[in-house]
């Protein structure tokens, strides 16, 4: 029975049913009884495998089809009337063509099945931040995951009332045919359509599709921001709390940073980290002129491999009840789950993520095809399970941000941490982010690519306009957070990680927040921004072997704080090339200015002996000759035909 009198909702459900032609329609009211019955039904049909009730109460395992294990960026479309509005880094489809294509694919695909109607809220129901979505789907797996990841049920419809607007989401599994898989967004119609997939990032429509792609578009029009960011709170020994939001590309450690456990001596002093969110932040300007952030989600859709007691105790604890695991291995000895990195010992009897018996003797860490769990296997865990979930998790107001951090996987060039000179320069730093690709999306992994603000796959409109929106937001905020960049992934010449990462990132966080104090700790002004004086990062009680016989020490820290101007000049040229060839238009003038400054700051004239390289690096520079840092401005080459705003 319909749970609402909202005509727009009823019409959407009717139209969806007319298209999918399900045998039955079930409205999800979010009651425990209904969810329990659905789990039982999914276990009966084999869609879910019930895990050991004593060891993992109310936990289940699901396996996707082998062709359906990650987000599919090349099949994800932004369907705006004007192609230019989707921008050059998104795939675009004409809305009319997209609706027709989706209808053709989905027509009658729910025959013999049930269509579930999921009313859900992104954000605390009834808060200023919250937005309501309705997802129709023919997958129980989607219902159960949405029930963890969002706030689901009748209260969402009640908050819509008779006339309220919502985001429409239509999902049909169809035949999970990769060739007919489409994830379509219609930002101008508040609509999402997903067909032929059952992988979380493509089908839990509240997450990437709504809370990032559609929401980023809404944010631009309504004056707020939807970002691919974790939010964490630092509690100081005197009880003061400060909050930070941080953007990293997919599978680059957002969940780990959000749930970090500080080194022992910090804990003893009384420091604590609390997690507000691990993936998405919605950010608004508060009455006090600061930026305030909420996590619109209600759970964690985390990457399983590599998660263990030491790397992320809190995430692991979060998966101990009420969790759905996807594409991990099943330990048949005790009906629990396993993935690479969960324990050093390999389980003797496992079924791998494809459903076949796994042979631990054939396991080779470097060969993904021998893994028991898929590299992008996931856990969907309720946020309430997390031992360090913030008391502000359900706050309607959100939390005030002291700092925004950008970061990516960079083996070289980018120092451990640096601070931008101001907001606009911070926007430039975010726009210039690049990182090595991971298994979260289909395609090759480990390839360095530009991923501005970690939003390349998620900005629902033109990337140049998105940069402009950041610049515009800066003008609205009287007390903006300071903007930083971090890189936990610097490697030495032998490929060893030079920074321990994980809990020790607390040491960097502490410095970042000291820079946000009224009387900030001092820093060195360099060509790229403010870099810490090595002595100001606490490395006491740090015991880390970079490689055999090479311990991390002050010199190693100095090394990863070094700014190599030559490398940064190349980086600047690379950014310039990216702006000119990938984004092409609508890049704000403020970003060109920052790029010019970077080039100017990093220009080092080559000694005569290195003539060939010197000739190459100066090729794009103005003729003026200088010593050391050029005083002449090596201006960035903007597109000649289009004016930047």
352 binds ligand OXD (CB under 6 A): no
CB-wise, 166 or 301, nearer to ligand OXD? 301
Q: How far is it, in rounded angstroms, from Cα 302 to Cα 317? A: 12
Min CB(411)–Mn ion separation in Å: 22
250 binds ligand OXD (CB under 6 A): yes
Q: Which of 4, 64, 191, 250 binds Mn ion (CB under 5 A)?
A: 250
CB-wise, 305 or 347, nearer to ligand OXD? 305
227 binds ligand OXD (CB under 6 A): no
456 binds ligand OXD (CB under 6 A): no
CB-wise, 142 or 440, nearer to ligand OXD? 440
Q: Are 293 and 279 in contact (CB under 8 A)?
A: no
> Candidates 179-187, 246-254, 304-312, 322-330 — which segment interacts with Mn ion by CB under 5 A?
246-254
288, two tokens: 């006090």
Q: Are 62 and 326 in contact (CB under 8 A)?
A: yes
> Candidates 27-35, 94-102, 119-127, 274-282 — which segment interacts with Mn ion by CB under 5 A?
274-282
Q: How far is it, in rounded angstroms, from Cα 584 to Cα 561? A: 32
Min CB(397)–ligand OXD separation in Å: 25
CB-wise, 216 or 420, nearer to ligand OXD? 216
**Interhelix angle 463-476/589-602, nearest 10 degrees:** 90
Q: How far is it, in rounded angstroms, from Cα 344 to Cα 338? A: 11
Min CB(441)–ligand OXD separation in Å: 7
Q: Are 514 and 450 in contact (CB under 8 A)?
A: no
Which residue's CB comes closest to ligand OXD? Answer: 250
CB-wise, 109 or 250, nearer to ligand OXD? 250
- Interface with Mn ion (CB under 5 A), residue total 2
**Interhelix angle 32-45/140-149, nearest 10 degrees:** 140
Q: How far is it, in rounded angstroms, from Cα 534 to Cα 557? A: 6
71 binds ligand OXD (CB under 6 A): yes
Q: How far is it, in rounded angstroms, from Cα 121 to Cα 43? A: 27
CB-wise, 466 or 603, nearer to ligand OXD? 466
201 binds ligand OXD (CB under 6 A): yes
295 binds Mn ion (CB under 5 A): no
353 binds ligand OXD (CB under 6 A): no
Q: Are 106 and 19 in contact (CB under 8 A)?
A: yes
Is 252 a catalytic site residue?
yes
Min CB(530)–ligand OXD separation in Å: 29
Q: Kindly identify the residues of this chain, within the stretch 267-296, that bind ligand OXD according to CB under 6 A.
A: 279
CB-wise, 274 or 279, nearer to ligand OXD? 279
Q: Are 137 and 155 in contact (CB under 8 A)?
A: no
Min CB(149)–Mn ion separation in Å: 12
CB-wise, 246 or 598, nearer to Mn ion? 246
Q: How far is it, in rounded angstroms, from Cα 69 to Cα 43? A: 21
256 binds ligand OXD (CB under 6 A): no
440 binds ligand OXD (CB under 6 A): yes
Min CB(583)–ligand OXD separation in Å: 21
Beta strands 434-436; 448-450: pairing state: antiparallel
With CB under 5 to 8 Å by kind, the binding choice for 307 among ligand OXD, Mn ion, none is: none
Min CB(525)–ligand OXD separation in Å: 34
For 571, the enclosing helix (H) or strand (E) is helix 565-578
> Candidates 159-167, 272-280, 511-519, 587-595 — which segment interacts with Mn ion by CB under 5 A?
272-280
Class of residue 401 by CB neighbours under 10 A (exposed 0-12, middle 13-18, buried 19+): buried
Q: Which of 129, 182, 301, 511 binds ligand OXD (CB under 6 A)?
A: 301
For 61, the enclosing helix (H) or strand (E) is strand 60-62
47 binds ligand OXD (CB under 6 A): no
Min CB(194)–Mn ion separation in Å: 17
- Interface with ligand OXD (CB under 6 A), residue total 6
With CB under 5 to 8 Å by kind, the binding choice for 571 among ligand OXD, Mn ion, none is: none
Residues 6+ apart with CB under 8 A from 469: 219, 220, 225
CB-wise, 156 or 258, nearer to Mn ion? 258
Min CB(643)–ligand OXD separation in Å: 34
With CB under 5 to 8 Å by kind, the binding choice for 16 among ligand OXD, Mn ion, none is: none
Annotated active-site residue in 79, 156, 174, 252: 252
Q: Which of 138, 279, 340, 451 binds Mn ion (CB under 5 A)?
A: 279
64 binds ligand OXD (CB under 6 A): no
Residue 632 vs residues 34, 533, 589, 628, 629: alpha-carbon distances, Å? 70, 29, 19, 11, 9
Residue 316 vs residues 383, 385, 386, 394, 519: alpha-carbon distances, Å? 12, 10, 9, 22, 38
Main-chain dihedrals φ then ψ at residue 32, nearest 5 degrees: -60, -40
What is the widest separation between alpha-carbon atoms in the chain? 82
Ramachandran bin of 355, using left for φ above 0, alpha for ψ from -120 to 50, beta for the remaining angles: left
Min CB(201)–ligand OXD separation in Å: 5
User: DSSP of 623-644, one letter per residue?
Assistant: S---SSB-SS-------SSS--
Closest to 575 measured CA to CA, from 374, 430, 474: 430
Q: Are 99 and 8 in contact (CB under 8 A)?
A: no
408 binds ligand OXD (CB under 6 A): no
Q: How far is it, in rounded angstroms, from Cα 381 to Cα 136? A: 22
Q: Are 189 and 8 in contact (CB under 8 A)?
A: no
**Which residues are at the interface with ligand OXD (CB under 6 A)?**
71, 201, 250, 279, 301, 440
**Which residues are at the interface with Mn ion (CB under 5 A)?**
250, 279
> Which residues are identified as catalytic?
252
């Amino acid at each position: 029975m319909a749970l609402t009198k909202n005509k727009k909702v009823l019409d959407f459900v009717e139209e969806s049913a007319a298209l999918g032609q399900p045998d039955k329609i079930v409205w999800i009211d979010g009651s425990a009884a209904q969810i329990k019955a659905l789990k039982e039904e999914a276990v009966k049909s084999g869609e879910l495998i019930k895990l050991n009730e004593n060891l993992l109460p109310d936990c289940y395992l699901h396996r996707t089809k082998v062709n359906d294990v990650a987000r599919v960026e090349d099949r994800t479309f932004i369907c705006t009337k004007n192609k230019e509005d989707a921008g050059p880094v998104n795939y675009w489809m004409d809305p009319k063509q997209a609706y027709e294509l989706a209808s053709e694919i989905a027509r009658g695909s729910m025959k013999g099945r049930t269509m579930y109607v999921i009313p859900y809220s992104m954000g605390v129901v009834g808060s200023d931040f919250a937005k309501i979505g309705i997802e129709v789907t023919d997958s129980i797996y989607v219902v159960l995951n949405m029930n963890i990841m969002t706030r689901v049920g009748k209260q969402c419809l009640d908050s819509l009332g008779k006339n309220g607007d919502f985001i429409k989401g239509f999902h049909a599994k169809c035949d999970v045919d990769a060739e007919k898989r489409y994830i379509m967004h219609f930002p101008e119609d508040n609509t999402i359509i997903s067909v032929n997939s059952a992988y979380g990032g493509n089908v839990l429509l509240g997450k990437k599709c709504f809370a990032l792609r559609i929401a980023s578009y809404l944010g631009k029009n309504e004056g707020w921001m939807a970002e691919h960011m974790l939010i964490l709170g630092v509690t100081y020994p005197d009880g003061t709390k400060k909050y930070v939001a941080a953007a990293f590309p997919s599978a680059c450690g957002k969940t780990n940073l959000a749930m970090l456990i500080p080194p022992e001596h910090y804990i003893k002093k009384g420091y604590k980290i609390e997690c507000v969110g691990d993936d998405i932040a919605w950010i608004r300007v508060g009455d006090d002129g600061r930026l305030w952030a909420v996590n619109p989600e209600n759970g964690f859709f985390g990457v399983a491999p590599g998660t263990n007691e030491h790397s992320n105790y809190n995430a692991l604890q979060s998966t101990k009840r009420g969790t759905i695991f996807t594409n991990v291995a099943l330990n048949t000895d005790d009906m629990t789950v396993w993935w690479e990195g969960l324990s050093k010992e390999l389980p003797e009897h496992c079924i791998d993520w494809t459903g076949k018996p796994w042979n631990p003797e054939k396991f080779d860490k470097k060969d993904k095809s021998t893994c028991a769990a898929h590299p992008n296997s996931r856990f969907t865990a309720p946020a309430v399970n997390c031992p360090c979930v913030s008391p502000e998790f359900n706050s309607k107001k959100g939390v005030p941000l002291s700092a925004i951090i950008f970061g990516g996987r960079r083996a070289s060039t980018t120092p451990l941490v640096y601070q931008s000179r101001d907001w606009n320069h911070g926007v430039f730093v975010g726009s210039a982010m690049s990182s090595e690709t991971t298994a979260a999306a289909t395609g090759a992994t480990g390839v360095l690519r530009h991923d501005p603000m970690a939003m390349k796959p998620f900005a629902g409109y033109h990337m140049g306009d998105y940069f402009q929106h950041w610049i515009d937001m800066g003008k609205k905020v009287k007390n903006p957070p300071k903007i930083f960049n971090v890189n936990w992934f610097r490697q030495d010449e032998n490929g060893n990680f030079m920074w321990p990462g994980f809990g020790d990132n607390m040491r960097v966080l502490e410095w970042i927040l000291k820079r946000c104090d009224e009387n900030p700790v001092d820093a060195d002004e360099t060509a790229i921004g403010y870099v810490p004086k090595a002595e100001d990062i606490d490395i006491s009680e740090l015991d880390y072997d970079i490689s055999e016989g090479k311990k991390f020490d002050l010199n190693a820290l100095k090394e990863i704080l070094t700014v190599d101007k030559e490398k940064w000049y190349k980086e600047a040229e690379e950014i310039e090339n990216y702006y000119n060839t990938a984004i092409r238009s609508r890049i704000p003038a403020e970003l060109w200015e920052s790029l010019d400054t970077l080039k100017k700051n990093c220009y080092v004239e080559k000694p005569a002996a290195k003539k060939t390289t010197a000739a190459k690096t100066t090729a794009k520079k103005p003729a003026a000759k200088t010593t050391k840092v050029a005083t002449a401005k090596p201006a960035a080459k903007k597109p000649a035909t289009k004016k930047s705003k």
